């Protein structure tokens, strides 16, 4: 049976999967993204994770039809390179991922944008299967977006889908990108953590950092936010309310422009907080939705944490279930 | 030579044109949109304007290949109807424009969305000719948007392109649509006039309403705004500065999502204020543009006031010059 590999290369973790022709998962492996070293070390970690996933599927990596990689930064599949991936170690320049990874794995390599391949996966195999147009919103450290129109990815001049940098408040909060008022400046986990830290340092009571330490984390992960919410933490609740309002406004703006059939909410926070927060985002969107008599469907991503890796494997196999 | 008719049906005026196969204008006529009566009166006015334009081109309307109508409201070309056109008299319901207009003119009628046909005209024959993707921004009483991606109009589920209702300030100014913080609530001429009126009533000095009366107008037309600016009117300047900031943020948001090759600025205010304001909008967009190393081209609409009527005629002829 034809198998292909998929890699979701994130700033925190590398998720590898080996995928069957019908989209089924034959093997998977996850490891932390190296925080030191450089591109060569990252490629070595990718190859290691892929070898483990292939072993679980009972094959060598060289037996795979190929490996797709969903990557942050500026991805050039023609050249086989990734440039300016600021969340990866020492990756300001341009690095030939394809040559390095093909040598390490003995099979061909295709590259794609991390958010777009995750959107493509939800479209082909996940929550977007019944729609012909959708907007994927990946709510995590930042907020990424992917677009499918008339059944095809829309990537513009290779920089489309930056929904995290849709402006929700002119002159508003400072974003990690250096601009003001971006949706991500309110809803991105990194921005929320920075704001929680400032409030904690000013003496506000919150269990966020206590939970973080108990779990041996150095960041406020999605699980930390979820646990703090469960404990009724007022700072966590307040910052998530604020994030939801920004997501509602930014997603409504995008929908007013695109008028797609469905919005799919994924990403670390989206997956972890799940359906209740998808429902809250829907409510927050409605007051800003122009065509509010015919709102889009809003769905929770169905492929969970594996969506990125599955989507990357589609760069090789274009796997589609018989039902689509 | 094949001739087709085009009608730009606006809340203020009806612009008719008769267009040659290469996009050349063979005849044109303009008249005010009836402010009383109902749909039948509007159709009669459309037919009258078309007869004048046809006469200028030396033909009867029945000799035209057909007539395209760019209309506000909910346009259903399959059914031949326009519904809920709130800027037209007594037009809350659904009216069969096609049957009425075909009877009046003796030729076939096609219907399209007013903003989308104007965008299509700029794409086929105007400022967007050299691009394969563009966002048309029509800055007038409201702010409308039209989208062309990969050479084809993107209309979503028939409600795409509502750039005027992209949120630029959560919880911000009240928009004519009843929502808060829409770009149109800052940049639309109707919203600007309402705000100017409030400031005037509070005693602020402005020549806006004096110019309006001198010109025998009942509204602050684009020409009134332009004249007040020339006279250095501080209220006009301040409200246009505010409009430009909102346009910059809303257009940047849209570009961050779509990453098109070009933005084309048209509409009554866009055309009247011209290139200096296109340049100002570009400047206002830059601070919010994520991919600011590769900004889109920003162009002034090239077809001027006739763009809507020319675009409507494309519903019949799909006129394209040899050069495209």
Q: What is the pLDDT of residues B8-20, one digit of tens each?
A: 998 889 999 999 9
Domains in chain A, number: 2
Task: Write the residue in B133, B157, B180 that is nearest to A259 by C-beta.
Answer: B157
Strands (E), B164-283: 262-266
Interchain contact, A181 vs B287, CB within 8 Å? no
pLDDT of residue B204: 97
User: Do B49 and B134 reside in the same domain of the chain?
Assistant: no
User: Is B113 part of the contact surface with chain A (CB cutoff 8 Å)?
Assistant: no
User: Is A207 part of the contact surface with chain B (CB cutoff 8 Å)?
Assistant: no
Task: Write the residue in A154, A155, A245 that is nearest to B170 by C-beta.
Answer: A245
User: Do B187 and B276 reside in the same domain of the chain?
Assistant: yes
Q: Which two tokens stand for residue A6?
A: 């998929």
pLDDT of residue A321: 44
User: Is A31 part of the contact surface with chain B (CB cutoff 8 Å)?
Assistant: no
User: Do B159 and B83 reside in the same domain of the chain?
Assistant: no
pLDDT of residue A87: 80
- Taking the C-alpha atoms of residue A288 and residue A258, their distance in angstroms, rounded to an integer, is 14
- Among B144, B130, B131, smallest CA distance to B189 is for B144
How many CB atoms sit inside 10 A of residue B31's CB?
14
pLDDT of residue B63: 97
User: Is A133 part of the contact surface with chain B (CB cutoff 8 Å)?
Assistant: yes
Q: Which domain holds residue B67?
A: 3-114+306-317
Mean pLDDT of all residues belonging to chain A:
95
Interchain contact, A170 vs B257, CB within 8 Å? no
Test mutation, A167, A247, A290, chain B, max B CBs within 10 A:
A167
User: Do A89 and A29 reside in the same domain of the chain?
Assistant: yes
How many CB atoms sit inside 10 A of residue B57's CB?
22
B299-323 residue pLDDT tens: 999 999 999 999 999 999 864 444 3
- Among A137, A192, A187, smallest CA distance to A167 is for A187
Looking at the domain assignment, is residue A43 inside a domain? Answer: yes
User: Do A242 and A281 reside in the same domain of the chain?
Assistant: yes
Band (pLDDT 50/70/90 cuts) for residue B87 is confident
- Among A18, A14, A113, A20, smallest CA distance to A67 is for A18
Interchain contact, B165 vs A245, CB within 8 Å? no
- Among B80, B79, B95, B87, smallest CA distance to B115 is for B87
Interchain contact, B257 vs A254, CB within 8 Å? yes
Give the list of residues 6+ apart from residue B174 with CB closer than 8 angstroms, or none. B180, B185
Looking at the domain assignment, is residue A121 inside a domain? Answer: no
Band (pLDDT 50/70/90 cuts) for residue A320 is very low
User: Do A72 and A89 reside in the same domain of the chain?
Assistant: yes
Averaged pLDDT, B173-185: 96
Averaged pLDDT, B270-299: 97
- Taking the C-alpha atoms of residue A67 and residue B18, their distance in angstroms, rounded to an integer, is 57
- Using the predicted structure, report yes or no on whether residue A319 has a pLDDT greater than 60: no
- Taking the C-alpha atoms of residue B18 and residue B25, their distance in angstroms, rounded to an integer, is 6
Looking at the domain assignment, is residue B122 inside a domain? Answer: no
User: Do B313 and B280 reside in the same domain of the chain?
Assistant: no
The CATH number for B176's domain is 3.30.420.40
Paired with A17 in beta bridges are: A6, A28
Looking at the domain assignment, is residue B322 inside a domain? Answer: no
User: Is A49 part of the contact surface with chain B (CB cutoff 8 Å)?
Assistant: no
User: Do B75 and B142 reside in the same domain of the chain?
Assistant: no
pLDDT of residue B74: 86
Averaged pLDDT, B32-49: 95
pLDDT of residue A323: 39
Q: Are B5 and B53 in contact (CB under 8 A)?
A: yes
Q: Are B206 and B192 in contact (CB under 8 A)?
A: no
Q: Give chain B positions within 8 Å (CB) of A158.
A: 259
User: Smallest CA–CA separation between A150 and chain B, in Å?
Assistant: 9
Looking at the domain assignment, is residue A276 inside a domain? Answer: yes
């Amino acid at each position: 049976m034809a198998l292909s590999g998929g890699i979701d290369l994130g700033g925190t973790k590398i998720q590898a999967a080996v995928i069957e022709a019908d989209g089924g998962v034959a093997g998977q492996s996850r490891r932390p993204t190296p925080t030191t070293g450089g591109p060569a070390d990252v490629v070595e970690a990718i190859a290691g994770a892929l070898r483990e996933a292939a072993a679980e599927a009972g094959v060598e990596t060289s037996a795979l039809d190929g490996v797709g990689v969903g990557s942050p930064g500026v991805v050039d599949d023609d050249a086989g390179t990734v440039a300016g991936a600021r969340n990866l170690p020492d990756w300001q320049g341009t690095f030939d991922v394809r040559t390095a990874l093909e040598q390490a794995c003995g099979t061909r390599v295709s590259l794609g944008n991390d958010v777009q391949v995750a959107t493509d996966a939800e479209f082909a195999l996940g929550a977007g299967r019944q729609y012909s147009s959708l907007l994927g919103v990946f709510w995590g450290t930042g907020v990424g977006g992917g677009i499918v129109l008339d059944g095809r990815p829309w990537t513009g001049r290779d920089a489309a889908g930056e929904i995290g940098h849709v402006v929700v408040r002119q002159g508003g909060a400072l974003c990690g990108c250096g601009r003001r008022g971006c949706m991500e400046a309110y809803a991105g986990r990194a921005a929320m953590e920075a704001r929680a830290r400032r409030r904690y340092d000013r003496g506000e009571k919150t269990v966020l950092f206590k939970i973080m330490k108990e779990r041996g984390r150095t960041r406020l992960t999605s699980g930390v936010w979820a646990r703090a919410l469960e404990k009724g933490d007022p700072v966590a609740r307040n910052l998530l309310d604020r994030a939801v309002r920004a997501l509602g406004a930014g997603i409504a703006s995008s929908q007013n422009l695109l008028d797609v059939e469905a919005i799919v909410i994924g990403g670390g926070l989206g997956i972890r907080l799940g359906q209740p927060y998808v429902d809250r985002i829907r409510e927050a969107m409605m007051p800003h939705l122009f065509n509010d008599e015919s709102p889009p469907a809003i769905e929770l991503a169905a492929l969970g944490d594996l969506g990125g890796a599955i989507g990357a494997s589609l760069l090789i196999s274009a796997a589609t279930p018989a039902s689509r």
